Chains A and B, each alone.
Chain A
Amino acid sequence: MDSDKKKKINRRTFLKGAATTAIAGSAAVTAGCKSKGLLGSTEAFALEFAEYFKKHYRLMTQKEREGTIARLEKLARLKQGINIDIDSTGPAQNVLYGYAFNVTRCEGYMECVQACIKENNLDRKSNTQYIRIFEMEHGQMSPDQGDGKYFHMVPKQGHFYMGVQCFQCENPPCVKACPTKATWKEPDGIVVVDYDWCIGCRYCMAACPYWGRRFNWNPPEIPKEEINKKQHYLGNRQRVRGMMEKCTFCIQRSRKGKVTACVEACPTGARVFGNLLDPDSEIRFVLENKKVYRLKEDLGTDPKFWYFID
């Protein structure tokens, strides 16, 4: 009897017990202090504390996922005074997202970049952008030869434009580089990050041959009224300092059947998004009827992002 009980107290139960005691203890301590001190409200502190003890997203049960989502939503209400809606829709059957970019059509207006910033709650202070548009001279091919910092009237004579973002590789080197398995490829082909599991080592940033990943050097700053409240746990929910983030094909939109924000914003229709496993989809039409190519195909990363020319 006694030994049985002893056996049952493994590391996990011990930590859980410690956590609850700590929460209760800290609640007692902070209740004793003047409320809304250094740590904010007691409730927010307790929620934040509980957040430290959650599992990796892929190991969570549905109930645990709902628990952490409820906590995050509550925290946003308490700390920022906004009502956010965090989604955890999983991948659908028979869906593999693919993307095509028409090099002929893009005129460099950068509406996509602007829409992406707003949709994905990107840091305004450091001007983080998932999409880069390169202005290329005729005769060039690789974006590293292009000008990514142009700011003048577009389209410029004798130039064409090329957008680069995360290509959602089928064989992603960033996933292999991650020491904590904080990033992985979902069954519908989107490479996502569990922001709470990322330790900020930036190995994935170094591993990515397409400069597809971004690091939060500072706490992201977004004006309160501009925060996109429709969020996804693996997508555009708010990040904190010291973790990686990346384009997720707007997972909060695409899993609801919507096109990504960049596709919707594109004024020239240069961007095509769809299901690669649907033989009737637009993306399949492009792959079958246009001359397409992928960047750095020889690396074997097998990106799901094609360029094509009219």
Chain B
Amino acid sequence: MKNPTIKISLFDIIPFCILPVLLIFFCAQAAFSSGIGVAGKIKAATKKLDMKTQVETVIPLPKNIVMANMEYQGGTFFTETRKNELKRYQCSSCHNNKKVPIRNAANISHADIKVVHGEKDSPLACNTCHSKDDRDFLVTSKGSKIDLDHVYDMCGQCHFRQKKDWIGGAHGKRVTYWAGERVVKNCTSCHDPHSPLFKKRWPATYSVPLN
């Protein structure tokens, strides 16, 4: 009499054992395969996108930019110009072997520029970067002339790691738009070439505790 009753109860229990196992299995599957995750999506996205059509809005090109003389992974790109920001460019309007009245000397000399660039015991001199022969240009250590708008070629001689990052997009930043033609800040947009380190200053605001 006893045995059959045990058998029946076992048969009753088995489905109740299997069901939760199945439930857990399907739940886990749903949880882990609901999406391939960001990494998977990134890996799958290898198709080149047209940079002009990623958003519907028409993106205007800003003023005062120049096409860089190199390419990044997506082709050509633009960078901000420098010459339009210099108050006394062209340099050759003064540096031209003509005589300058001495009473103007205090105003037009570059005594206000303090070079804090290079190593402490051997800082850079003016002529490390500025050309002696053609004052409107910079000159590399190998003697090639560089336009002030393409200053990244100058800085990149020493700061080649930063230059590599800048070309790719890990150093510096894009101007206003992530979409559209790539326009990035130039080295001198953020760094003062005569004293390139960012200054110590007060933060713009402060935070209060969250709780």
Residues of A within 8 A of B (CB): 89, 92, 94-96, 98, 100, 102, 105, 107-111, 113-114, 117, 126-127, 129, 132-133, 148-155, 170-171, 211, 254-259, 263-264, 266-269, 271-287, 289-290, 302-304, 308, 310
Q: Are the C-beta atoms of A102 and B57 separated by less than 8 Å?
A: no
Q: Is B170 interfacial (CB-CB < 8 Å)? A: yes
- Bound complex: CA A132 to CA B206 (Å): 9
Q: Is B22 interfacial (CB-CB < 8 Å)? A: no
Q: Identify the closest chain A residue to B198 (Cβ).
A: A107
B47-55, B104-112, B139-147 - interface stretch: B47-55
Q: Which residues of B contact A272 (CB under 8 A)?
A: 169-170, 173
* Neighbour of B54 across the interface among A89, A102, A257, A304, CB < 8 A: A257
Q: Are the C-beta atoms of A117 and B205 separated by less than 8 Å?
A: yes
Q: Which residues of A contact B172 (CB under 8 A)?
A: 269
- Bound complex: CA A15 to CA B5 (Å): 59
Q: Identify the closest chain A residue to B44 (Cβ).
A: A277
Residues of B within 8 A of A (CB): 34-35, 37-38, 41-42, 45-49, 51, 54-57, 59, 72-75, 161, 165, 168-174, 176-180, 185, 190, 198, 200-210
- Bound complex: CA A266 to CA B165 (Å): 17
- Bound complex: CA A263 to CA B177 (Å): 10
Mostly, the B contact residues are loop
Q: Which residues of A contact B38 (CB under 8 A)?
A: 96, 98, 170, 276, 302-304
Q: Are the C-beta atoms of B200 and A259 separated by less than 8 Å?
A: no
- Smallest CB separation, B10 vs chain A (Å): 38
Q: Identify the closest chain B residue to A129 (Cβ).
A: B207
Q: Identify the closest chain A residue to B31 (Cβ).
A: A300
Q: Are the C-beta atoms of B207 and A149 separated by less than 8 Å?
A: yes
Q: Which residues of A contact B161 (CB under 8 A)?
A: 310
Q: Are the C-beta atoms of B205 and A277 separated by less than 8 Å?
A: no
Q: Which residues of B contact A117 (CB under 8 A)?
A: 205
Mostly, the A contact residues are loop
Given contacts A109-B203, A277-B42, A290-B170, contact A256 B55 (CB under 8 A): yes
Q: Which residues of B contact A287 (CB under 8 A)?
A: 42
- Smallest CB separation, A142 vs chain B (Å): 15
Q: Are the C-beta atoms of B49 and A258 separated by less than 8 Å?
A: no
Q: Are the C-beta atoms of B178 and A149 separated by less than 8 Å?
A: no
Q: Which residues of B contact A155 (CB under 8 A)?
A: 198, 200
Q: Are the C-beta atoms of B173 and A263 separated by less than 8 Å?
A: yes
- Bound complex: CA A308 to CA B210 (Å): 26
Q: Which residues of A contact B207 (CB under 8 A)?
A: 110, 113, 127, 129, 132-133, 148-149
Identify 23 residue pairs between A and B in the complex whose beta-carbon atoms are under 8 Å apart, listed by A's number. Answer: A94-B45, A96-B45, A100-B170, A110-B205, A110-B206, A114-B205, A127-B208, A132-B210, A148-B210, A170-B41, A171-B34, A255-B55, A257-B55, A257-B179, A257-B180, A259-B176, A264-B176, A267-B198, A276-B41, A279-B45, A280-B48, A282-B169, A308-B170
Q: Are the C-beta atoms of B170 and A170 separated by less than 8 Å?
A: no
- Smallest CB separation, B185 vs chain A (Å): 7
- Bound complex: CA A117 to CA B205 (Å): 10
